[in-house]
A and B are shown apart, each in its own frame.
Chain A
Amino acid sequence: MMFRCLRYLAGLMGFAFLLSPAFAADPILIGVSLTQSPPGSVVQGTQVKDGMEILKDMVNAKGGVLGRPIKILYEDNQGIPEKGRAATEKLISSDKVVAMAGGHQSSVCLAEIEVAHRYKVPYVNTNCWSDDVRKRGYPEVFNTSPYNTLVSSSMATTLATMGVKRVVAFAENTDYGIGQAKLTGELLKAKAPQIEYKYETLDRASKDFTAAVLPLRANPPDVIVMSMLPPAAYLLMNQVYEQGVAPTAKTLMYDGGGLADYPDFWQNVKEGGKYLLSFALYHPQMKQTPLASDIAAEYKKRTGGDINRLVLQAADSLELVIQGIESAKSTDSDKLIKAMQTMNFKSIRGVSDFSNKPGFGYQQWLEIPYVNYELTAEKQPIAQTVLIQAPGQKFDASKIVHPAK
């Protein structure tokens, strides 16, 4: 009797197994540590998540990767390095993700890559600009993100071309801010030693920068460079405007962080944003790949807003992992890393020239398209901005618009 029951049970279990859907494979888990609450930049974290989700849905709609759906596990690091480290530890050791992506704040990235390196899990740097992330030389870390040497070099060339005499930079007290401000100064000194340059470090958690801005009223520079992220960057812009320091006929502000891209830019900045010069990694006039156009259309459908560079960067970093898995035909860490090092990555944003030279270029895609533009009206859409430097073109200082006074 008992034996008969067991036989029936075994038969039932076998039947149930046969009935289970053939495509119910385990999802491929990808870990993303990003900022979803203060004090880090929440607006950045949200853009990164949006980009990842859109591409993930597109890929899964076409059957996933190697017949398996992609599943992204998110952790909130609040922009704090220690929390980023803990989040990465959890995602890798407990959740067993095959790769990490989405890092968007340099100080946090620097903590997270240590964990990825220890576990030998691939880590795709989405938006950590600090050269130090590359200089560590970890083979697990792949950089589709812009990097400070690129940005600072462009900014230094821009400043030299503008023919200015005096530049003051404000940098947030992070690896990104200080790294960019310092490097811009060094490169500017090499290109145009006659330009006086100094930078000041500001606490990104502070709300009042008046004491840093006031001394500029008596002796305004020609350009104020900003190496800061929101919300501190917005406050600084407002306070510089309120003190009458910039924008004026003499002094303009130059942003090195792509602030005007963010969806909450105009609601926080208002008149202070007019005449802002911006180094930018996305502009509607840039040539887009078909996939980038699809992502832009989907982003517009989901959020009502126009696409920006961070959404595309996030999608690009996920795309690298996807193409790596397809190339390796495996999610094994060693094979994935090897594949990502040797394959020909077809970037959504059109980045190219993969380098493995030690230093700022280690495992970095060096050629990243960029532009420089100027906002000339309040609430101006990016598409209507004045393009001072078109993609692949030289900076044209004659196109810069100054306020009347």
Chain B
Amino acid sequence: MLAFDLLANGLIYGCFYALMAIGLAMIFGVLKIVNFAHGEFFMIGAYTYVLVALKLGVSPWLALPCAAVSGALLGWLVERLLMRPMYQGYASWGFMKDEYAVVVTFGLSLLLINLVDKIVGPYSFRGPPLIDVSRFALGPIMLTGQKAIAAVVSVLLMIGLALFIKRSVWGKQIQAVAQNRLGASLAGIDATRTTSLIFMISGMLAALSGALLAPLVNPSPDIGAFPAVKSYVIVVLGGMGSIWGAMLAALILGVSEAFFSVYISYDYRDAFGLIILVVVLLFRPQGLFGEKGREL
């Protein structure tokens, strides 16, 4: 019975991690940079959901798309104001592009945390659940309505994203820009607009992840740190830039943490994911689904 419980909880949390990590993987896939403010997209989404639902009295189901919009808007602003210099400004010359990304996104992370801390306040708020079913048994597994619904919504979002990337015109443009930015531009694809779209999708997914978890984790200004760290592990484990890799790695991380915590030691719970990462990278340095490459 415990094993079923652990598997179920591991998969559910894996879905949440996946939603968060996919956005990060997309940004890396296109721009080859890590967004260190990704955790704060999660935080903004969580706060938007909580504040819209609690302060404005709006239904949580309507607060969810509000969170998505806030994440998309933030992603667009970040790309437009902060990231564009990397491929249109002095940093596009290739010098210090990575350093620029680290400094800017790290600074943005600190700014967002402190802004929310000062404007909203440092107290944590429990978000209202999407469905008012506090707990129920599904066979041997105990779940809450929120966890069940949030997991379903996460899976639907991931399926939707996969179809979008594979079948839609925009999705094909994203794939083209990820493969070769210059080549895509020469083929008539507006690479700048595509990059904007990627940031919007990334922000939206992270914000939705935050909103879905808000009733479970009681958001506070520093709530973004824990999913962000998991996301970095997942993106590397799955293969930098690989969306499918990120999804699979997230599920592996969620389930392995759940089992190792109980059967080995809870004290080293956060270390297990890192151990798996190290072991995988020893044998597959490109990650599970990444591609080997070399920069000249």
- In the complex, what residues of B have CB within 8 A of residue A25's CB? none
Closest A residue, CB atoms, query B258 = A211
- Residue in B closest to A206 when the chains form the complex, CB atoms: B226
**B220 to A211, Cβ gap below 8 A?**
no
| A392 is an interface residue with CB less than 8 A from chain B | no
The interface stretch among A214-222, A331-339, A357-365 is A214-222
At the interface, yes or no: A196 with Cβ under 8 Å from chain B? no
Do A211 and B126 form a contact, CB below 8 Å, given A38-B222, A241-B135?
A: no
Q: Which residues of A contact B135 (CB under 8 A)?
A: 241-244
B109 contacts the other chain (CB 8 A): no
Shortest distance in angstroms between A392's beta carbon and chain B's nearest beta carbon? 34
| Complex Cα spacing A36 to B117, Å | 9
Which of A42, A235, A243, A269 touches B122 (beta carbons < 8 Å)? A42
**How many angstroms between the C-alpha atoms of A321 and B104 in the bound complex?**
46
Q: Which of B6, B123, B218 contacts A211 (CB 8 A)?
A: B6
B98 within 8 A of A: no
Q: In the complex the two chains form, what is the Cα distance from A193 to B176 in whole Å? A: 70
Q: Which residues of B contact A200 (CB under 8 A)?
A: 266
Residue B192, interface by CB 8 Å: no
| A208: interface (CB < 8 Å) | yes
Contact, CB under 8 Å: B123 / A264: yes
Given known contacts A231-B124, A242-B134, is B1 in contact with A218 (CB within 8 Å)? yes
Q: Are B261 and A268 in contact (CB under 8 A)?
A: no
A51 interfacial contact with B, CB 8 Å = no
Instruction: Say whether B261 contacts A212, CB under 8 Å.
Output: yes
Report whether A217 and B2 are in contact in the complex, using a CB–CB cutoff of 8 Å. Answer: yes
Partner of A243, one of B114, B125, B142, B221: B142
B124 touches A210 (CB 8 A): no
Which residues of chain B come closer than 8 Å to A39, judged between CB atoms?
Answer: 222
Also in contact, A211 and B261, with CB within 8 A (given A201-B267, A217-B2): yes
B257 CB within 8 Å of chain A = yes
Q: Does B82 contact A (CB under 8 A)?
A: no
Q: In the complex where A205-B226, A217-B5 touch, is A38 in contact with B220 (Cβ < 8 A)? A: yes
Tell me the complex Cα distance, A241–B146, Å.
14
In the complex, are the beta carbons of B221 and A207 less than 8 A apart? no
A234 within 8 A of B: yes
Instruction: Check B122 against A38 for contact (C-beta < 8 Å).
Output: yes
Q: Shortest beta-carbon distance, A209 to chain B, in Å?
A: 9
Contact A211 B124 (CB under 8 A): no
B262 at the interface (CB under 8 A from A): yes
In the complex, the answer to whether A217 meets B217 with C-beta atoms within 8 Å is: no
Known contacts being A207-B226, A264-B124, is A235 close to B217, with CB within 8 Å?
Answer: yes
Instruction: Among B13, B124, B142, B144, point to the contact of A234 (Cβ < 8 A).
Output: B124
Q: A269 vs B218: C-alpha distance in the bound complex, in angstroms?
A: 9
Within 8 A of A (CB), among B249-279: 257-258, 261-262, 266-267, 269-270
Q: Which residue of B lies closest to A234 (CB)?
A: B218
CA distance A320 to B257 in the complex (A): 49
Q: Would you call A267 an interface residue if the criterion is a C-beta within 8 Å of the partner chain's C-beta atoms? A: yes
A396 to B79, CA, bound (A): 63
Interface 0/1 of A232-260, CB less than 8 Å to B: 00110010011110000000000000000
Please judge, given known A-B contacts A211-B257, A214-B5, A215-B262, whether A242 and B218 are in contact too, CB under 8 Å. no
Q: Chain B contacts of A207 at CB under 8 A?
A: 216-217, 223, 226
Minimal Cβ-Cβ distance residue in A for B225: A205
Question: Smallest CB–CB gap between B99 and chain A, Å?
Answer: 27
Interface residues contributed by chain A, number (CB under 8 Å): 37
Least CB distance, B93 to chain A, in whole angstroms:
39
Cα A243 to Cα B211 with chains together (Å)? 21
* Residue from the list A46, A214, A242, A270 in contact with B126, Cβ < 8 A: A270
Q: From A42, A235, A267, give the contact of B125 (CB < 8 A).
A: A267
Cβ of A43 < 8 Å from any Cβ of B? yes
Say how far B171's CB is from chain A's closest CB, in angstroms: 32
Which of B134, B222, B261 contacts A271 (CB under 8 A)?
Answer: B134
Contact A244 B221 (CB under 8 A): no
Give Cα distance in the complex from A7 to B223, angstroms: 67
Q: Residues of A contacting B217 with CB < 8 Å?
A: 207-208, 235
Closest chain B residue, CB of each to CB of A214: B5
Are A211 and B266 CB-contacts (below 8 A) given A38-B122, A230-B124, A242-B134?
A: yes
Q: B269 — which chain A residues lie within 8 A by C-beta?
A: 203, 206, 211
- CB <8 Å contact, B267 and A268: no
| Interface residue from B2, B134, B221 paired with A38 (Cβ < 8 Å) | B221
The verdict on A37 contacting chain B, using a C-beta distance below 8 Å, is: yes
Q: Which residues of A contact B5 (CB under 8 A)?
A: 214, 217
Please indicate the chain B residues that have their CB under 8 angstroms from the CB of A244 in the complex. 135, 137, 142
Q: Is the CB of A210 within 8 A of B258?
A: yes
> Assuming the A-B contacts A207-B217, A211-B262, A211-B266, are A267 and B126 also in contact, with contact meaning beta carbons closer than 8 angstroms in the complex?
yes
Neighbouring B residues of A46 by C-beta, 8 Å: 122
B122 adjacent to A37 (CB under 8 Å):
yes
CB-CB contacts below 8 Å: A15-50 with B: 36-39, 42-43, 46
A243 to B262, CA, bound (A): 15
Q: Can you list 17 contacts pairing A with B, beta carbon distance less than 8 Å?
A: A36-B122, A37-B117, A38-B117, A38-B221, A42-B122, A203-B269, A207-B216, A211-B262, A211-B266, A217-B2, A218-B1, A234-B124, A242-B135, A242-B144, A244-B135, A267-B126, A268-B218
List the 5 closest A-B pairs by CB distance, nearest first: A211-B261, A42-B122, A38-B222, A207-B217, A231-B124
A sample of 20 more A-B contacts (CB under 8 A), given A39-B222, A264-B123, is: A38-B222, A201-B267, A203-B269, A206-B269, A207-B226, A210-B258, A211-B258, A217-B2, A218-B1, A231-B218, A231-B220, A234-B124, A235-B218, A242-B135, A242-B144, A243-B135, A244-B142, A267-B126, A270-B126, A271-B134
